[in-house]
Amino acid sequence: MATNLYNTMYNPDVLSCIANLSSDEVFTPPDIANAMLDMLPQELFESPDTKFLDPACKSGVFLREIAKRLLKGLEQLYPDLQERTEHIFKHQLYGIAITELTSHLTRRSLYCSKTANGNYSVVHFNTIDGNVRFKNIKHMWQNGKCVYCGASQNQYDRSDELETYAYELIHMTNPEEVFKMKFDVIIGNPPYQLNDGGYGISAIPIYDKFIEKAKMLQPRFLSMIVPARWFAGGKGLDAFRDTMLHDTSLRIIHDYPNADDCFNGVQI
């Protein structure tokens, strides 16, 4: 049976102090995730039909904080906590993890179990993934570069035992095929860059590709944390900058001149 886990078991909140994967794959603190959720129309959390997607799950913080809001917002519609939990987790929350490890982290944050069909999952699914999926995607190489993300074949053409950083959403032509549904909100903090095999420490940005793919899904609302380097263009970002500057659906930009104000102790 479901209990009010989200109000009792996260004190102190481990997601507020979890170590980052790297300076390019940064875990989002719960307070930043909630600040982003505060920007959305709050009636979204009072509808049983609102569907949310995090296309780059790491700790699962976005889906967990959304779940907490939905559990409160749908209380009158679903007075029974177990029924409410079942509906929210099975029909409103979806995620694509960036690695197998982060898929386990996300499920544990969301379902309280790294497997969605485990004995300790607050909602029982028929599959291990539940609505948080991870697929071991391969890069598609052409002339030494991935045709989808621009990663260097020398750097990322690896064995199955090693992480290749071929993120599912940006390695497909038709991203709508992932869950085959319409999302009202796409929100997240995608990976920022990959080594492009250039001289010295050279990297190609990939956060722009996450935004472009997410826009193809035509959500009602799209909110992402990304580096502000695209403001100046360059490094393959000129077309993206031009698109963003002429996008009439763009409403709000929160700029942190000092990245430490957003991610304390992380060098970005």
**Beta carbons of 188 and 64 less than 8 angstroms apart:** no
Q: Is 17 exposed, middle or buried (0-12, 13-18, 19+ CB in 10 A)?
A: exposed
- Cα dist. 114→65, 96, 100, 124, 133 in Å? 17, 14, 11, 12, 12
Q: Is it true that the peptide bond before 48 is cis, omega within 30 degrees of 0?
A: no
pLDDT of residue 86: 95
Instruction: Please list the helix, strand and coil fractions of the chain in percent, rounded to the nearest 5, in that order.
Output: 35, 10, 55
Looking at this protein, which amino acid is placed at residue 71? L
Tokens 């990322």, residue located: 156
**Beta carbons of 103 and 129 less than 8 angstroms apart:** yes
Q: CA–CA separation, 36 vs 203, rounded Å?
A: 27
Domain spans, the chain: 57-134
Indicate the SS3 state at residue 177. Answer: helix
Strands in 60-202 per DSSP E: 93-97, 132-133, 141-142, 145-146, 185-188, 193-195
Look at the alpha carbons of 245, 247, 251, 252 in this order and tell me if their dihedral is positive or negative. negative
Q: Residues 52-67, buried b or exposed e (16+ Cβ, 10 A)?
A: bbbbbbbbbbbbbbbb
Tens of pLDDT, residue by residue, the chain (268 residues): 455 555 555 555 555 555 555 555 678 889 999 999 999 999 999 999 999 999 999 999 999 999 999 999 999 999 999 999 999 999 999 999 999 989 999 999 999 999 999 999 999 999 999 999 999 889 999 999 999 998 889 888 988 778 889 999 999 989 888 898 999 999 999 999 887 666 556 688 999 999 999 999 999 999 999 999 899 988 889 999 999 999 999 999 999 888 888 877 666 6
